[in-house]
């Protein structure tokens, strides 16, 4: 017998394979939760599990208890998912171990974060065992600080993103990938990359990799994202030209035409490309997609009015939308404390619904 776990997140190609091997006599057990099916952009199908159950007439043994979260959080999340039988692993240890909502008036989510920190302290939960989950990357960037570089365009924007990944996320690998891709696009006519790709273990290939790595690692080379737009662009042109020369490419590259200030007006040129928040350095920050499958002591969920409006609309209509499932996944990561930061416009219109689902207002 072959079992397939989390079939609800599979796509059409795996479904074709399952049908094929079953026709050949393989016995199949399907295990999964349709409410946790996300990644629609990669053809994940939330109806696949129930469709195969009906098609193959498979006996169903539903599991309605979560061993991840307490009863109060499970009840609220169950209302979001439309599963009134969903239960947790026991009551919260105190009155602060439960789900809350916060009315958020600011784009930077400062009030939500402050309220979350206070709730963690009352609940006796360490900040380092918690996470702030955002629906999208632009919200993630908002809570990390004020982002200016997104106004840039083309190659300049890509290299600014490399600075951001290195300086703010400490993601050196991603920064390295961006810089190498950018350098390749600048020097694609040189013939260098054909040699590197054909002989990746050669001395020349290692020399190129080391040169780009040193460029990425040092703020004296790839400029810090905390510099003003004017200084960052000027310094990037100089250091990028030095890197290209170090790689042995002597052609005139006209970097001034490739590294442009397009997208930044005069006032923005004098401000840092990124102004970091110092509000919550110990608390982990991720998108919802990045924590699927985890259990975390305390969770703050953040999103736009559009996101939460879609969640409420889907619950009201009984529709299984991607947004509704994402909200459910985010909420069921929380073991002891769940806080949802609702934008003021959404809260004013729908706050009573959240209270009815079991959320207290902070």
CA angle (10 as vertex; 5, 13 as ends), nearest 5:
125
Q: What is the DSSP string of 51-112?
A: HHHHHHT-------B-SSS-HHHHHHHHHHHT-TT-B-SS--SSTTSSEEEEEE-STT-HHH
Domain boundary, last residue among 272, 288, 322: 272
Given this model, what pLDDT does residue 6 score? 43
**Residues in the chain where the model's pLDDT stays below 50:** 1-9, 39, 41-44
| 214 and 317 assigned to the same domain | no
Given this model, what pLDDT does residue 5 score? 42
d(CA 130, CA 112): 14
pTM exceeds 0.75 = no
| 157 and 248 assigned to the same domain | yes
For residue 4 the two structure tokens come to 């397939």
pLDDT per position as a tens digit, 163-182: 988 887 788 898 999 999 99
Given this model, what pLDDT does residue 46 score? 53
| 292 and 347 assigned to the same domain | yes
Question: Which residue carries 């600075």 as its tokens?
Answer: 163
| 304 and 262 assigned to the same domain | no
| 303 and 216 assigned to the same domain | no
Closest CA to 299 of 329, 254, 260: 329
Q: Is residue 266 part of a domain?
A: yes
Q: Around Cβ 144, how many Cβ atoms within 10 Å?
A: 22
Given this model, what pLDDT does residue 200 score? 85
| 44 and 127 assigned to the same domain | no
Given this model, what pLDDT does residue 217 score? 94
E strand spans, the chain:
2-5, 28-31, 99-104, 130-134, 145-147, 274-276, 284-287, 296-302, 334-343, 360-361
d(CA 357, CA 362): 15
Pairing of strands 274-276, 2-5: unpaired
| 296 and 240 assigned to the same domain | no
Given this model, what pLDDT does residue 268 score? 66
Quote the percentage of the chain above a pLDDT of 70: 80
d(CA 116, CA 301): 10
Given this model, what pLDDT does residue 279 score? 52
Q: Is residue 62 part of a domain?
A: no
d(CA 159, CA 3): 45
Q: Is residue 159 part of a domain?
A: yes
Q: Is residue 61 part of a domain?
A: no
Given this model, what pLDDT does residue 2 score? 46
Given this model, what pLDDT does residue 334 score? 93
Cα distances (Å, whole numbers) of residue 84 to 8, 41, 110, 330, 339: 20, 29, 33, 18, 20
Given this model, what pLDDT does residue 256 score? 63
Given this model, what pLDDT does residue 47 score? 62
Domain boundary, last residue among 255, 272, 289: 272
Report the domain count for the chain.
3
d(CA 56, CA 26): 12
Mean per-residue pLDDT over the chain, rounded: 81
For residue 116 the two structure tokens come to 């979350």
Given this model, what pLDDT does residue 68 score? 80
Domain extent for 311: 71-143+280-361
């Amino acid at each position: 017998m072959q079992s397939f776990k989390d079939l609800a997140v599979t796509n059409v190609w795996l479904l074709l394979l399952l049908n094929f091997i079953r026709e050949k006599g393989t016995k199949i057990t399907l295990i999964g939760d349709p409410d946790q099916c996300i990644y629609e952009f990669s053809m994940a199908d939330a109806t696949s599990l129930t469709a195969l159950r009906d098609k193959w007439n498979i006996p169903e043994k539903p599991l309605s208890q979560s061993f991840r979260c307490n009863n109060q959080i499970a009840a609220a999340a169950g209302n979001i998912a439309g599963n009134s039988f969903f239960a947790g692993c026991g009551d919260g240890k105190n009155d602060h171990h439960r789900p809350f909502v916060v009315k958020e008036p600011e784009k930077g989510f400062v009030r939500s974060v402050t309220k979350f920190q206070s709730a963690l302290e009352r609940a006796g939960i360490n900040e380092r065992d918690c996470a702030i989950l955002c629906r999208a990357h632009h919200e993630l960037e908002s809570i990390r600080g004020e982002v200016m570089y997104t106004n840039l365009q083309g190659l300049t924007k890509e290299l600014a993103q490399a600075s951001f990944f290195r300086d703010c996320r400490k993601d050196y690998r991603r920064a390295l990938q961006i810089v190498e891709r950018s350098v390749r696009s600048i020097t694609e006519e040189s013939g260098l990359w054909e040699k590197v790709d054909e002989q990746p273990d050669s001395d020349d290939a290692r020399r190129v990799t080391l040169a780009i790595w040193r460029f990425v690692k040092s703020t004296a080379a790839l400029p810090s994202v905390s510099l003003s737009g004017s200084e960052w662009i000027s310094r990037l042109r100089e250091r990028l030209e030095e890197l290209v020369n170090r790689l042995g490419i002597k052609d005139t590259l006209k970097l001034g035409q490739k590294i442009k200030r397009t997208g930044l007006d005069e006032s923005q040129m004098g401000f840092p490309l990124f102004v970091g928040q110092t509000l919550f350095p110990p608390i982990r920050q991720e998108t919802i997609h990045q924590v699927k499958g985890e259990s975390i002591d305390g969770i703050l969920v953040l999103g736009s009015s559009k996101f939460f409006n879609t969640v409420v609309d889907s619950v009201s209509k009984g529709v299984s939308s991607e947004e509704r499932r994402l909200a459910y996944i985010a909420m069921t990561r929380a073991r002891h404390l769940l806080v949802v930061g609702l934008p003021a416009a959404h809260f004013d219109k729908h706050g009573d619904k959240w209270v009815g689902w079991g959320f207290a207002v902070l």
